[in-house]
Chain A
């Protein structure tokens, strides 16, 4: 088991020894660094191939269909066939597009996505850089896609693309607030902003159990940041066709697609790291645990996508500001207070778990009350309108 646990580290050490036998030290370091970066980028592409297939299969199953089943056994080569199709498609630039920005957007979109992998702990001792401000780094890099989407949306010279970009900004900026507050809750509990430190702080209890509210808020905000259903209104097919990347084709479109799935893995990885104890948990090797948890989180997201309809834009913004932000702020105060009073252990976890559930239940009850009131008001207004039209008697 120990051998399996250290498998990748052992391979790295062995490879380093091999290089050292014929290269000077600085060249060894440079080769290892470049290889590490390449490995993360290749991982990104593998992730895309694997999860597009998984997504299509899962959504097909939920919809009582079979999904891709032609290319290879069970259709597992479907993603590769798609990739070849993308690569061979014609590369079109709209006549009145802003040539430079149009070209730059798909390149810039991939950079923050891959950069984020640097702070993700894939297993025990398997992290690109153990930054002591990793959480701030993640939040900072999360802001760059807003810029790229505006870039793509404006450069395309297409009203649907621009509308999609505007929706994105409203959505991403709104959901960044509850996301950061949920992150802050975790940082408060772990006492560190390093991703490695946060995983180690969950040795006894995963933070999803300690503070379920932060977990739920982060998950929802993560879905919004990924622009996945029910928050996919920046690419709402029936309204604005495809959103900010409508004019892109071929490899340029593939870059956006790539970035989307790399980000999906990243958000699932962050949820695993922050709330599900990362690579911890016994028996299986650490990197396998990490992978299993990430796949489970991604499956959850696909399940949500296959189940829920899309929000309207006012509902989406209202949900962020009127539901998620207050709930996460109350939770932050709650956690700060309890963490100050009680020592880490069973008592603290129990108190936080119960109070969090109460908070969640209270928030849902208030929301249901508000929704019921609104519905009643709408019905009364409707009835009044009918009365005005038909006279006193309603037929």
Chain B
């Protein structure tokens, strides 16, 4: 086994272990921090796949923004931050069905997909190509997404404003 393969196995086990712990942990805040660890594991997998930009974006968006948002929301709601929270409520059966269905669909897709691999390594300047695609081929969708995000931002501020 080569070094990258060993690294992949180690990182994969940590990532999956953390992901399982996110669901099983009785403390919501522990779950949130473990979720951040899971995101970081995925970022390391991206590094192993020679896509540093994707890894940096993963850390920036998922750890720097989403995890912090989740943790902040949990901390601000006092009751939820209490340890040993009850994990079930009356709707557990419904959510179980949905979760199993979702798992089935994802598993089916994973098994069905052909997983085509690039024949040669990506160029060093793959990131340049990405940038050019954003302002060239996909300029319109990119701008639309930007405007939608801006509207969401302004909307959030207006809703949050008192009076």
Whether the pair A144, B64 counts as a contact (CB closer than 8 A) is yes
Interface positions, chain B 55-104, Cβ under 8 Å from A, are 56-57, 59-60, 63-65, 67-68, 71-72, 75, 81, 83
Q: Which residues of A contact B65 (CB under 8 A)?
A: 143
Rounded to whole angstroms, the CA-CA distance of A142 and B56 in the bound complex is 11
Chain A nearest CB: distance from B73 CB in Å? 12
Is A151 interfacial (CB 8 A cutoff)? yes
Q: Which residues of B contact A131 (CB under 8 A)?
A: 52
Q: Which residues of B contact A166 (CB under 8 A)?
A: 75
Is B36 interfacial (CB 8 A cutoff)? yes
Nearest chain-A residue to B51 (Cβ)?
A133
Q: Which residues of B contact A151 (CB under 8 A)?
A: 33
Q: Which residues of A contact B57 (CB under 8 A)?
A: 136, 140
Chain A nearest CB: distance from B27 CB in Å? 8
Is B30 interfacial (CB 8 A cutoff)? yes
Binary interface profile of A, 119-156, with partner B (CB < 8 Å = 1, else 0)? 00000000000011100110111111011001100100
Nearest chain-A residue to B131 (Cβ)?
A193
Q: How many cross-chain pairs have Cβ atoms below 8 Å apart between A and B?
A: 65
Q: Which residues of B contact A173 (CB under 8 A)?
A: 68
Is A162 interfacial (CB 8 A cutoff)? yes
Rounded to whole angstroms, the CA-CA distance of A38 and B152 in the bound complex is 46
Is B127 interfacial (CB 8 A cutoff)? yes
Q: Which residues of B contact A139 (CB under 8 A)?
A: 56, 60
Is B162 interfacial (CB 8 A cutoff)? no
Binary interface profile of B, 44-55, with partner A (CB < 8 Å = 1, else 0)? 000000001100
Report if A143-B68 is in contact (Cβ < 8 Å); known contacts: A133-B56, A151-B33.
yes
Rounded to whole angstroms, the CA-CA distance of A110 and B72 in the bound complex is 22
Whether the pair B59, A147 counts as a contact (CB closer than 8 A) is no
Whether the pair B30, A169 counts as a contact (CB closer than 8 A) is no
Give the interface centre of B57, B64, B65, B68 by most chain A CB atoms within 10 Å.
Answer: B64
Whether the pair B36, A147 counts as a contact (CB closer than 8 A) is yes
Across the interface, A133 reaches (CB within 8 A) one of B27, B53, B81, namely B53
Q: Which residues of A contact B56 (CB under 8 A)?
A: 133, 136-137, 139-140
Whether the pair A137, B52 counts as a contact (CB closer than 8 A) is yes
Q: Which residues of B contact A137 (CB under 8 A)?
A: 52, 56
Whether the pair B59, A150 counts as a contact (CB closer than 8 A) is no
Chain B nearest CB: distance from A174 CB in Å? 13
Q: How large is the interface on A (under 10, 10 to 19, 20 to 34, 35 or more residues)?
A: 20 to 34
Rounded to whole angstroms, the CA-CA distance of A151 and B124 in the bound complex is 37
Interface positions, chain A 169-183, Cβ under 8 Å from B, are 169, 173
Q: Which residues of B contact A363 (CB under 8 A)?
A: none
Nearest chain-B residue to A170 (Cβ)?
B72
- Say whether chain A's binding surface is mostly helix, strand, loop, or mixed: helix
Is B29 interfacial (CB 8 A cutoff)? yes
Chain A nearest CB: distance from B131 CB in Å? 10
Q: Which residues of A contact B83 (CB under 8 A)?
A: 98
Nearest chain-B residue to A105 (Cβ)?
B33
Report if A136-B71 is in contact (Cβ < 8 Å); known contacts: A143-B59, A144-B59, A144-B63.
no
Chain B nearest CB: distance from A185 CB in Å? 16
Report if A136-B36 is in contact (Cβ < 8 Å); known contacts: A146-B68, A150-B75.
no
Chain B nearest CB: distance from A97 CB in Å? 12
Chain A nearest CB: distance from B69 CB in Å? 10
Give the interface centre of B71, B124, B127 by most chain A CB atoms within 10 Å.
Answer: B71
Whether the pair B72, A140 counts as a contact (CB closer than 8 A) is no
Across the interface, B72 reaches (CB within 8 A) one of A104, A136, A169, namely A169
Report if A141-B53 is in contact (Cβ < 8 Å); known contacts: A100-B30, A147-B36, A154-B29.
no
Chain A nearest CB: distance from B118 CB in Å? 18
Is A101 interfacial (CB 8 A cutoff)? yes
Nearest chain-A residue to B27 (Cβ)?
A98
Nearest chain-B residue to A165 (Cβ)?
B75
Rounded to whole angstroms, the CA-CA distance of A140 and B64 in the bound complex is 7
Whether the pair B127, A132 counts as a contact (CB closer than 8 A) is yes
Whether the pair B36, A140 counts as a contact (CB closer than 8 A) is no
Question: Lowest 10 A-B CB distances belong to which pairs?
Answer: A143-B64, A140-B60, A140-B59, A140-B56, A136-B56, A133-B53, A137-B56, A146-B68, A150-B71, A133-B52
User: Could you give 13 example pairs across A and B, Cβ below 8 Å?
Assistant: A98-B30, A101-B30, A104-B33, A132-B125, A140-B59, A140-B60, A140-B64, A143-B68, A144-B64, A147-B36, A147-B68, A147-B71, A169-B72
